[in-house]
Structure 1
């Protein structure tokens, strides 16, 4: 047999096909391993980026939500918070609540999305919670509690509600939340006598005169044109200071108002300077910063230069009886009323 016959035998078609299959198999294994490695690296990078975004969103969400609540619901806070992570984002479902007496009262539920790729929030139907009463438009919270009304001393209302006069019709175990509107604006130095009368009542919030001239004119026009007896300012439209000093004793905490007001001004000015925001937070930031600019422009750059217009208080009918018929109370409206747990 010649050398050429041996060559033909060694490299026949079967051997060539076998060699080709071996090369293809090695190439397939190599390409599969490379693809798997790339996929694993991509997944790891995606997980790391997603966790960074999620954690940043997670850490900032409650701050933003609390700011939103603070600017629209005096004395309220976020409760029953549930975080649902998504890809490069997080959805936060929470309940807006307030504590009245020893009870936590749920007002309504909300959802917000945060992050680069914000998770979708389902759309629902929200029916109007506003109805007309003899005092104008009354609005309820989602869970049925009535929102409080405030009455500005520089607006001439047709009539003024006096819910304080009705507290003796309630049982002794009720804890009553109430909005108190004063007969004029008082400086923090002029409020001492009123604060002394309120020393046994739990003061939860201080109403400040933050309205611009444009807002005041709008309120006056509303009162002038509305057919109802009055058009109080709903609690979501007023701004002020949460008071959590000295167990609610405003008399012993008058000196704390300076620090509280300065801290609040700084909060309005600084807002939430973060890239990962919600639309609501962005709007709130803008509102707060505009309010800060207005207050500074109006010379209300410290607590001595801004007027106190009223309070949110709570107590039993025995406690609230101490301020019934006080001449400095122009109007009073009920908020949440609950039975005491103990």
Structure 2
């Protein structure tokens, strides 16, 4: 019988008892390492996500503020009788959206002019995907360019888009909706664009409009003598023209409305975040000077509003070349 020595017995004892403990320790170490790696990775992911989302929110917030400022500036020099209403900002990942309402004044009554969207992004390739920049309810059609030019357009709220006729152009046909006033119910309010026979000084126009009619907006002549649009006898609609709001956002008459118009153009022409449109307007209106003066503003039309009876006072005024009805709503 083979007898084991004490050393052999001792070695077997340690091999049996120590080996499992050593493997268990290694297993525990591996599990701990995996848990630690997972926790560290999760913490890195959370921190990185927080940084990315914070940076995304900061950038989009800055862009949305610029977009809103740009909209407000544009509504101050264009958009006849249209005001920027409440704005809702919706920022997502890399893209955002401004949802806003538009409204108008018919006399002293504000009416909703539709809901609109303007998209923005700091990624060029996806910029504008969520935007909604079109103003029209549907695309106009016609058998010829003349038919298309004279076709009636509607905005997204179903309002007729007003037309404007450049007094330096001899058009084949002129619209005169003042002749249609008797067809409209007496309990209605409406806006009408008036295109003048020539350019008038700012102060002259104030005295040309009867006091019982609301003067909403002045159309400023921003065309050059070699205007391609004029040569083509282009009839402008309310999204093509620039001018001065005579009312503030609460429907109150402004004392010196031309100042806001001049200030916006002067301020925005040097702002890289805005369109070169402001620089172009400044160059035309300043006539080569370093500033735009009130005397530089030549008025070639207006937008007015009121009821049927008050607007009848405009009939047969020799300074009115064309007139088109826009929004119509109940008085009460």
Regarding TM over 0.5, the answer is yes
Residues 9-48 of structure 1 aligned to structure 2 (within 5 Å): 9-10=13-14, 12-48=18-54
Query: What is the CA-CA distance between 1:4 and the residue it aligns to?
Result: 6.9
**1:237–1:10 Cα change, 3 Å:** same
Choose the corresponding residue for 1:296, options 286, 297, 300.
286
* Runs of 4+ with >6 A deviation: 122-126, 132-135
Partner of 1:211: 223
Whole-Å separation in 1 of the counterparts to 2:75 and 2:141? 20
Partner of 2:168: 154
Q: Secondary structure at the match of 2:91?
A: strand
Cα deviation digits, residues 150-201 of structure 1 (max 9, x gap): 122222223433222321332211111001112211122443531xx43221
Q: Secondary structure at the match of 1:165?
A: helix
**1:103–1:133 Cα change, 3 Å:** farther
Partner of 2:259: 259
TM-score of the pair, normalised by structure 1: 0.78
Q: Is 2:285–2:296's contact at 8 Å kept on the other side of the alignment?
A: no
Partner of 2:193: 179
Whole-Å separation in 2 of the counterparts to 1:85 and 1:134? 38
Structure 1 position 232 matched with structure 2 position 235: yes
Q: Secondary structure at the match of 1:138?
A: coil
Between Structure 1 and Structure 2, how many residues are aligned?
316
Whole-Å separation in 2 of the counterparts to 1:43 and 1:291? 45
Q: Is 2:97–2:117's contact at 8 Å kept on the other side of the alignment?
A: no
Q: Secondary structure at the match of 2:53?
A: helix
Query: What is the CA-CA distance between 1:114 and the residue it aligns to?
Result: 3.3
Partner of 1:128: 139
Cα deviation digits, residues 125-151 of structure 1 (max 9, x gap): 984135576982332213332111112
CA RMSD, 1 decimal: 3.4
Give the unaligned 5+ runs of structure 2.
none
Q: Is 2:79–2:239's contact at 8 Å kept on the other side of the alignment?
A: yes
Moved more, 83-92 or 101-110: 101-110
Cα deviation digits, residues 212-265 of structure 1 (max 9, x gap): 2332x4323x23xxxxxxx53222211111111696668xx4xx1452343133
Q: Is 1:61–1:114's contact at 8 Å kept on the other side of the alignment?
A: no
Residues 1-342 of structure 1 aligned to structure 2 (within 5 Å): 2=6, 6=10, 9-10=13-14, 12-68=18-74, 73-79=79-85, 81-101=87-107, 102-107=109-114, 109-116=116-123, 118=127, 120-121=129-130, 127-129=138-140, 136-194=150-208, 197-215=209-227, 217-220=228-231, 222-223=232-233, 232-244=235-247, 253=255, 256-271=256-271, 273-274=272-273, 285-298=275-288, 301-340=292-331, 342=332
Query: What is the CA-CA distance between 1:95 and the residue it aligns to?
Result: 4.3
Whole-Å separation in 2 of the counterparts to 1:144 and 1:127? 10
TM-score of the pair, normalised by structure 2: 0.80
Larger Rg: 1 or 2?
2
Q: Is 2:95–2:119's contact at 8 Å kept on the other side of the alignment?
A: no
Q: Is 2:79–2:238's contact at 8 Å kept on the other side of the alignment?
A: yes
